[in-house]
Amino acid sequence: MVPQTIAWITARGLFGRRRFLLLIPLPLLVVGLAVLSRGFGVAPENWAQPVLVGLGLAVVLPVIALIVGTGVLGSEIDDGTIVHILTKPLPRWQIVLPKLVVATAVTTVTVSISLYVAGVLAHSVRLGLGLALAGLVGSLVYSALFLAMSLLTRRPVLLGLVYVLVWEGLLGNFVSGTRVLSVQQYVLTIADKIAPTGLLQSKVSLPVAIIMSAIFAVGFTVLAIDRLRSFSVAGETS
Amino acid sequence: MSEAAGVIHDIGYQRYAGPRLGRGYVFTSLYVHSLRTAFGLGRSAKAKIFPWFVLGVVFLTGVILAAVRTQVPDAGVTYTAFVDMMAWLVVFFVAVVAPELVSRDLRAGVLPLYFSRPLRRSDYPYAKLAALATAVWLLLGAPQIVMFLIAAFSVDNMSQFWTEVGDVGPGLFYAALWAAVFAGIGLLIASLTGKRAFAAGGIVAVFLMTTPVVGVLSVMPSQTMNELALLFSPSSLVFGVGVWLFGSPDGNDNIGPFGPLYLAVTIGLVAGCVALLQARYRKVASS
């Protein structure tokens, strides 16, 4: 009963605010660009990279996971209502796991549907399903990462942006060693291996992608549970 | 009947008779304070982490590029190319600073206090915008000055020196263009929410999600469309103006005859952001 209640509170906290509307334009843009490119008859080789990878997997997925993932716990920490949950006699995993599930579900629904449509328009239903599944894995890993971040630091969104922009965006393209520690590359690899179309270029092997995704997801969830055990409520940072 | 129970004693309180510093003084104070806030000056160490991180990276890149230029004069590393290179860091800097400047005031509900001073309603956004634009301009311009000094001390004759002066001038102007566009958009988005985290996310989202639009439009099967593609993202828009004014860095960017249109759209974009900011602050204080 308690996990459902926490999940319910979390979902209401996410959808009950105006900022939820921020989640809508990004996926619509992916679909819109795919339809536009398809409508003008551009070859998929030309537009699949910017739309599916450049926008879909590299921007929409991490940014939405960032907004949602830091929102499920971070906003409660911000306005102090986390105290009401923390003072209940609950094991901490019963707080973290429902929130993680809600964050993953919301991110997946928002991202995977648009990726599926764009994938179908680009190549085939198989590519669409591959992208949607990769979106699910990515949502889980990113959500766990950003959820843990909102407990580790007072500025989770900025730190998450540093990870997405600098680590994945800049370094991931130039320094090949950082790819092994980049969620974006795992997601790309999983999508590519499910639907080997040649439109996506994966740069790490599938076992690495799967194992590292699992390590990221489990590791950061355990870290979040552990951090919540010794969490101290403080005022806003300067 | 009875006399008045209390007597008002004159215990020597005095009215303030000194000079009253008016609107201009408040405006300047707000501007200077905001500019200091942008770099975390006068704030805790935590507030300095992100701005100084960006500053450090930008200066490091500037010094490295300056060293490259002295060794390899034809490396194609110009002042404007340096500004283009720093685009993502500028986005990040604006995402850090803009919420710091306006979102905190919204969240803390201190705007009525500002507007109870001799500060007009429109002055507040102008001061904040000027501060943010100055901060971005300093971020991009100061490393160029460093690059210029390094180059100026390693020239052989005066004509090379004047060439260098002729290069850094447009570079600084280009940086000002970036500053105006990025500050306008960033501050507008940040003024919509009192939560710094969401303001930062929103700013980055706007810049990130418009970039692939340019990528798609530039592969459309229409030359006009390709030449207009750079219009659709703020960073590529400014880049397009740079291509028109200073020429394309690698010769691949073709904007056709639309150069003046790029400049007009840039000016229109900044003017639109300012107008929307003013509209936003005309009614925001009641909340």
- Minimum distance, in Å, between the CA of residue A89 and any CA atom of chain B: 30
Q: Number of folded domains in chain A?
A: 1
Q: Name the residue of chain A whose CA is nearest to B41's CA.
A: A238
Give the tens place of pLDDT for each residue, B203-244. 888 888 788 788 778 777 777 777 788 888 888 888 888 888
ipTM associated with this complex: 0.72
Task: Tell whether A196 is covered by a domain.
Answer: yes
The residues near B100 (Cβ < 8 Å, ≥ 6 apart) are: B37, B38, B47, B196
Instruction: Write out the residue range of the structural domain in which residue A110 sits.
Output: 2-229
Contact with chain B for residue A155, Cβ under 8 A? yes
- Of chain A, the percentage scoring pLDDT greater than 70 comes to 93
Question: A50 to chain B: which residues are within 8 Å by CB?
Answer: 212, 215-216, 219
Quick check: helix, strand or coil at residue B182? helix
pLDDT tens digit sequence for A128-156: 898 999 999 999 999 999 999 988 887 88
Q: Where are the domains of chain B?
A: 23-286
Chain A residues closer than 8 Å to B208 by CB: 59, 63
Q: Is A80 on the interface with B (CB under 8 A)?
A: no
Indicate whether A31 belongs to any domain: yes
B46 interaction partners in chain A (CB closer than 8 Å):
154, 237-238
Is A165 touching B (CB cutoff 8 A)?
yes
Whether A13 is covered by a domain: the verdict is: yes
Q: Do A22 and B95 touch (CB under 8 A)?
A: no
A143 lies in some domain: yes
With an 8 Å Cβ cutoff, is A46 touching chain B?
A: yes
Per-residue pLDDT tens for A82-115? 888 888 888 888 889 999 999 999 999 989 999 9
Residue A204: inside a domain:
yes
Is residue A174 within 8 angstroms of chain B, CB to CB? no
- Confidence check: pLDDT of A21 > 80: no
Which among B46, B201, B221 is the nearest to A42, CB-wise?
Answer: B221
Chain A contact present for B42, CB below 8 A:
no
